Chains A and B, each alone.
Chain A
Amino acid sequence: VAIDFHAILPELVLAGTALLVLVVDLFVERAKVVASWLSIAGTLVAGVALATLVGAGTRVSFGGSFVVDNYALLFKGLFLGSLLLVLLMSQRYINAGTAYQGEFYFLVLSSFVGMLLMPSSRDLLMLFLSLEIVSATGFIVAGFRKGDARGNEGALKFLLIGVLSTAVMLFGMSLVYGFTGSLQLGPIAERLAQLGDEPAAVMSVFLVVTGFAFKVSAAPFHFWAPDTYEGSPVPVAAYLSVASKAAGFAGLLQVTFVAFPSYARYWAPAFAVLAAFTMLLGNVIALAQTNMVRLLAYSSVAQAGYMLVPFAVGSSADPAVREEAFQAVLVYLLIYAFTNLGAFAVVTLVSQRQPSNLIADYAGLARRSPALGVAMTAFLFSLAGIPPAAGWYAKFVIFKSAINGDSLTLQLLVVFMAVMTVVALFYYAGVARSLWLGTPPEGAPEPAPQPVSPALGTAIALSAAGVLVLGVLPNLLVQYAPVSTLVAGP
């Protein structure tokens, strides 16, 4: 079978860049920053390679295990965009902190190769492999601050829980294979439908789903997230909270809606409970945080809770309703990615001078640097879901998809989510308030305006523009979500 090289071109470009960065870094003595520029250039080239695949129809290769369709393209675009922002964020941060620049960029790029593979993976082995590429490199970059005890603790937690979840998932996959005799998602769906209510098969489906629930940090599988985010370099926390989570959701969408639709009556109610619990836990604990990164970590747990709501619609009999739920997750991920990366870009900036990342460090930031304040305020209110920032639309489509499901469970879930949005506003608005009004602690002098490096400034400006423009004209981006569905009729 001939390999369709064009289909895997973006992945090839990115993998090649990763290797190139590693080699070049060996031979460069002083100007280590070249690794960063090389990575950015490689990302852009990969973006061009991706663009050549748009509109070229669905490409199937590797015997159906690797598929490039609109769904995959949308996710790949999301990942490359996130990668660009993460690289822009990392430039000064990593420059200042460590000598291992080549290694850092190599690991980040490799992790993103795994992410690019994820939405194209249409069998369990490919899913597993891409998830492991994402995770294994993630473990290392999460512990990149070697001298920091919290960094070590966070990375170790991440590693242990990651390995545990992988083991659970792999066990589930092996059982699924045992029951269906296939690794490919399509045939699995057919065999499971024929199999009917086999309790052990239901259990194996749940094991696979649980593995992904760890990746998206859904409660009660979330507890690694705050410690790991806090211990990681801030750009890594950004990428864990956005790109790695999005990869988890890509996998979750594929296994639930494509491979296991016939068991939706089992997993959909479970997702309702999982979503409610995740929203509750993330939002309530976030209320008590004093550290900015931990606040964003719990907020991202809560956001995962919102994104799990449409999965509860998965058992609907109407394929159009299921399809809308599927799209709602995509739209939410797109908008969330812009918003959260922007917020983390601001955190990166502030942490260059105040590495403690306390919320108190942000007091009066907007007075010193108004543009930065406006951007951060936009990100916070976008996370809260208040127009004109883009987050309202993300929440809107989730509400709409769940109401569409037209069942009592979903209606209760939606009302619960509505209440949770209000709880969330309390801490988001609290930070926003402190940005504009907070005063530095007693006796401390008012700090000078925050210096902004060009790379970080670009990252923040791009995200802020995305958040504000998408808030007014959501259709610019989200019109691509409907063309990218995987949900087939029953």
Chain B
Amino acid sequence: VEWFDDAALTLAVFLPLLGAVAVAVLPRERDGLVRGAALTFSGLALLVGVGMLARFDYGAGAAMQFEVSRSWIPSIGAGYHVGVDGIALPLLVLSLLLSTLCVVYSWRILPEPRNPKAFLALLLLLETGMNGTFVALDLVLFFVFWETVLIPMYFMIAVWGGPRRDYASIKFILYTLIGSVIMLLGFLAIWLRSSPDAAGRTFDILALQEMGAAARFGGTFGTIVFAAVALGFAVKVPVWPLHTWLPDAHTEAPTVGSVLLAGILLKMGTYGFVRIALPVLPDAAREWAPVIGVLGAIAIIYGSLCCLAQRDVKRLIAYSSVGHMGFVMLGIATLTPLGINAAVFGMVAHGVVTGMLFFLAGSMHERYHTRDIVELGGGMATLMPRLAGVFTLACIASLGLPGLAGFWGEILALLAAWNPAAGLSVPLFRTLAAVGLLGTLLTAGYFLWLLQRVNLGRVPDRWSGKPLGDVAPIEVAAWSPLIVLIVALGFAPGLILWLTSPSVTGWFTDLFA
């Protein structure tokens, strides 16, 4: 059906926005109606995503599909240009899925001060920003969607967050904004150099990628602009040493906020590298690749060491994200098709697995009213066997056990680092691969230690006899798709790689060969 191909992306991006408006105007007293509207709109958007998976031409994954290009702000030459290829589609679907699951999860579980109406309106606005970022093919459009996530996430943390929410929320928004305004300046510099005469200048990402492949943005200009653009992305990822907002934001955010922050928002940064920074500025990317690789490797080790020192379950998972995103950055830094495939796979896997872990941390807090590992004291396997089982599954998926989702992103990134793109220092990247390998050991160490301290052992006296209900039906509904994905992606990594490979090969094979 042709109208679907034209309208699909617009629907996927703006249905949640419509939902946000609907939720905002519905009366607060009609609680069921408010929640129903939120679920309907995010669910419809997810259906559109499923429809796109069905209609996607997998043979032509390298090309943009469902592409729409309309005039938007002609006075500055910015267009409403959207489209997805095999790299963007999995991330878009992940965003649609996680957002819907978050709406489902919020049905029952919502921290003080409740107010589902405001919470769901913000969540849907956030979803529009996230979806839009993954489909935008115009730098201005990309920037607008990128910034749109700031306000809802700020309020989610500031209103529904933990005790230090003031500090965490303002740190999050200021950190991200400084990165993104510098990024915007980089975009404008690219625009300025895209053509010597004013009429030929463009913000169109596809056109800029062609110019980038033709080495339009080389030399010192490219090096500086890459740094500016990469800074914006790197804050979002976050790359060590720009990560310090992340543990605070994750720890204080409400469960759903953490899930979306870890599951989607971080990927916006790495996606920016893959979609914009690398293809548009390939020469500069080659110059900066060793730096990115080293920072990625540091993040792997640093994240793991921090995890070993945490007592708060949620903070531990937050630091584990720093480490996992380090693998993604290492994959990107190799500039090889294999590395970028690994990165995209790592993004999706991390979104699923860490999203799941944050759901679990939230549900544990909901029951124990503490997330302190020492206070939890062990014995969860006895107290709540099913919750403990899911927790075990998510943890070992996150530590990269073969057969589960977390494995492939890491192993492929390490393999790619063993043979980086031509022109990159082989000894350096092999060292980084070795460091990354050490990181996987540390990761296994802290996750197993976490499981030992939380799941195993005798039930402490303070919890025995307390009515701590096991997994609730609403949690089953919100989590089962993620559990299925964790196992499915582990056994059949091709589900993602099949989608990404043609695109990655199409974009990156010649670029860095």
Contact B74 A392 (CB under 8 A): no
> Is A414 interfacial (CB 8 A cutoff)?
yes
A403 to B173, alpha carbons, bound, how many Å? 25
Query: Taking the nearest CB of chain B, how far is it from the CB of A468, in angstroms?
Result: 10
| Chain A 426-463 per-residue mask, 1 if CB under 8 angstroms from chain B, else 0 | 10011001001100000000000000000000000000
Q: What are 5 inter-chain pairs, A to B, with CB distance below 8 A?
A: A370-B118, A400-B188, A418-B184, A433-B158, A475-B74
Query: Taking the nearest CB of chain B, how far is it from the CB of A71, in angstroms?
Result: 16
A35 to B143, alpha carbons, bound, how many Å? 47
Nearest B-chain residue to A406, judged by Cβ: B192
Known contacts A392-B144, A426-B170; 20 additional CB pairs below 8 A are: A370-B118, A374-B24, A377-B151, A386-B150, A386-B151, A387-B144, A387-B147, A396-B184, A399-B184, A400-B188, A404-B192, A418-B181, A419-B178, A421-B181, A422-B174, A422-B177, A433-B166, A436-B158, A475-B75, A479-B74
Given A403-B192, A433-B158, A436-B159, answer yes or no on A381-B151 (Cβ-Cβ < 8 Å): yes
Contact A433 B74 (CB under 8 A): no
Which residues of B have CB within 8 Å of A415? 182, 185
Please count how many residues in chain B sit with their CB below 8 Å of the partner chain's CB atoms. 35
The B-contacting residues of A in range 372-393, CB under 8 angstroms, are 374, 377, 381, 386-388, 392-393
| Chain B 128-156 per-residue mask, 1 if CB under 8 angstroms from chain A, else 0 | 00000000000010011101101100110
Q: Quick one: which of B145, B148, B158, B177 contacts A437, CB cutoff 8 A?
A: B158
Chain B residues close to A by CB (< 8 Å) = 24, 72-76, 118, 140, 143-145, 147-148, 150-151, 154-155, 158-159, 166, 169-170, 173-174, 177-178, 181-182, 184-185, 188-189, 191-192, 198
Query: Taking the nearest CB of chain B, how far is it from the CB of A156, in angstroms?
Result: 38
Query: Taking the nearest CB of chain B, how far is it from the CB of A85, in angstroms?
Result: 24
Contact A396 B140 (CB under 8 A): yes
Nearest B-chain residue to A480, judged by Cβ: B75
Q: Quick one: which of B147, B154, B192 contacts A429, CB cutoff 8 A?
A: B154
Contact B73 A475 (CB under 8 A): yes
Contact A425 B76 (CB under 8 A): no
Which residues of B have CB within 8 Å of A393? 73
Contact B185 A399 (CB under 8 A): yes
Which residues of A have CB within 8 Å of B189? 403
Contact B148 A387 (CB under 8 A): yes
Query: Taking the nearest CB of chain A, how far is it from the CB of B153, in angstroms?
Result: 12
Q: Which 5 A-B pairs have the closest CB atoms?
A: A418-B181, A403-B188, A387-B144, A387-B147, A422-B178
Q: Quick one: which of B76, B154, B174, B198 contacts A397, CB cutoff 8 A?
A: B76
Nearest A-chain residue to B28, judged by Cβ: A370
Contact B147 A425 (CB under 8 A): no
> Is A226 interfacial (CB 8 A cutoff)?
no
Nearest B-chain residue to A393, judged by Cβ: B73
Query: Taking the nearest CB of chain B, how far is it from the CB of A276, in angstroms?
Result: 16
Query: Taking the nearest CB of chain A, how far is it from the CB of B147, in angstroms?
Result: 5
Which residues of B have CB within 8 Å of A406? 192
Q: Quick one: which of A419, A425, A473 contacts B173, CB cutoff 8 A?
A: A425
Which residues of B have CB within 8 Å of A397? 76
Which residues of B have CB within 8 Å of A475? 72-75
> Is A186 interfacial (CB 8 A cutoff)?
no
> Is A474 interfacial (CB 8 A cutoff)?
yes
Which residues of A have CB within 8 Å of B75? 475, 478-479, 481-482
Contact B188 A399 (CB under 8 A): yes
> Is A320 interfacial (CB 8 A cutoff)?
yes
Contact B147 A386 (CB under 8 A): yes
A18 to B56, alpha carbons, bound, how many Å? 66
Nearest A-chain residue to B201, judged by Cβ: A404
Query: Taking the nearest CB of chain B, how far is it from the CB of A364, in angstroms?
Result: 11
Given A397-B76, A406-B192, A436-B159, answer yes or no on A426-B174 (Cβ-Cβ < 8 Å): yes
Which residues of A have CB within 8 Å of B76? 396-397, 400
Which residues of B have CB within 8 Å of A430? 170
Nearest B-chain residue to A403, judged by Cβ: B188
A396 to B198, alpha carbons, bound, how many Å? 17
Query: Taking the nearest CB of chain A, how far is it from the CB of B113, in angstroms?
Result: 9
Contact B177 A386 (CB under 8 A): yes
A290 to B154, alpha carbons, bound, how many Å? 22
Nearest A-chain residue to B169, judged by Cβ: A433
Which residues of A have CB within 8 Å of B72? 473, 475
Query: Taking the nearest CB of chain A, how far is it from the CB of B139, in angstroms?
Result: 11
Which residues of B have CB within 8 Å of A386? 147, 150-151, 177
Query: Taking the nearest CB of chain B, how far is it from the CB of A23, in angstroms?
Result: 45
A399 to B192, alpha carbons, bound, how many Å? 12
Contact A425 B192 (CB under 8 A): no
A399 to B174, alpha carbons, bound, how many Å? 19
Contact A429 B173 (CB under 8 A): yes
A399 to B139, alpha carbons, bound, how many Å? 14
A288 to B223, alpha carbons, bound, how many Å? 38
Given A400-B76, A475-B74, A481-B75, answer yes or no on A421-B177 (Cβ-Cβ < 8 Å): yes
A320 to B150, alpha carbons, bound, how many Å? 34
Which residues of B have CB within 8 Å of A433? 158, 166, 169-170
Contact B198 A425 (CB under 8 A): no
Q: Quick one: which of A399, A425, A481, A482 contacts B177, CB cutoff 8 A?
A: A425
Query: Taking the nearest CB of chain A, how far is it from the CB of B346, in angstroms?
Result: 29
Q: Quick one: which of A370, A387, A418, A482 contacts B185, CB cutoff 8 A?
A: A418
Which residues of A have CB within 8 Å of B147? 386-387, 392
A430 to B148, alpha carbons, bound, how many Å? 18
A392 to B141, alpha carbons, bound, how many Å? 12
A392 to B192, alpha carbons, bound, how many Å? 19
Nearest B-chain residue to A321, judged by Cβ: B198
Query: Taking the nearest CB of chain B, how far is it from the CB of A393, in angstroms?
Result: 8
Query: Taking the nearest CB of chain B, how far is it from the CB of A489, in angstroms?
Result: 14
Query: Taking the nearest CB of chain A, how far is it from the CB of B273, in angstroms?
Result: 21
A433 to B173, alpha carbons, bound, how many Å? 12
The B-contacting residues of A in range 262-283, CB under 8 angstroms, are none
Which of A374, A400, A414, A478 has the largest count of B CB atoms less than 10 A from its CB?
A400
Which residues of B have CB within 8 Å of A422? 174, 177-178, 181
Contact A403 B185 (CB under 8 A): yes
A266 to B73, alpha carbons, bound, how many Å? 34
Query: Taking the nearest CB of chain A, how far is it from the CB of B268, in angstroms?
Result: 14
Which of A370, A419, A429, A475 has the largest count of B CB atoms less than 10 A from its CB?
A429
Which residues of B have CB within 8 Å of A482? 75
Which residues of A have CB within 8 Å of B166? 433
Query: Taking the nearest CB of chain A, how far is it from the CB of B176, in angstroms?
Result: 10
A399 to B177, alpha carbons, bound, how many Å? 15
Which of A406, A426, A474 has the largest count of B CB atoms less than 10 A from its CB?
A474
Which residues of A have CB within 8 Å of B192? 403-404, 406
Which residues of B have CB within 8 Å of A377? 151
